[in-house]
Amino acid sequence: MTKKTTKAAASKKSEGTTSRGGNGGATRGRSGNAEAGSERTGKVAKTQLVEQVAEKTGLTKKQSEEAVSAMLDVVVDAIRSGQSVGLPGLGTLSVKATAARTGVRPGTSEKIQIPAGKKVAFKVASTLKGNL
């Protein structure tokens, strides 16, 4: 009987943390703690990057937004042209070729051919990996 009680309490608790309420749940972390804010959501938005660059460099937000956008454009253009992009202390972005292969369509178990293509790979810098 205690197992049923704990399961019911656990499911009610998890339902409360996943509901989206009036604010859409956008500012809550995965733990449901409202104090955690956006730092706990696992994603840093471009606007947050812009704000942090502005704080660290003393640039205006408009100037830092232009700098962040320019840097991202350069990285995307380099990857599109097949070059690797090394970001010191962070890692390396590179383009990897994928071979053609046979896959299975979910639900029907039908065999399908997946064509060769390209994907973006990221290799974490050893300094960052050691600090995690």
What's the pLDDT tens digit per position in 8-18? Answer: 444 444 444 44
The residue length of the chain stands at 132
d(CA 61, CA 47): 9
Could you tell me the pLDDT band of residue 20, with boundaries at 50, 70 and 90? very low
Residue 29 has, within 13 A of its CA and on its CB side, a CA count of 11
pLDDT at position 42: 87
**Residues 91-110, mean pLDDT to the nearest whole number:** 94
Task: Please state the rounded mean pLDDT for residues 51-70.
Answer: 95
In the predicted model, is pLDDT for residue 116 greater than 90?
yes
**Residue 82 confidence class, pLDDT cut points 50, 70, 90:** very high
Q: How far is CA 94 from CA 5, 74, 75, 109, 114, in A?
A: 51, 14, 10, 33, 22
pLDDT of residue 21: 42
Model confidence at 132, pLDDT cuts 50, 70, 90, reads confident
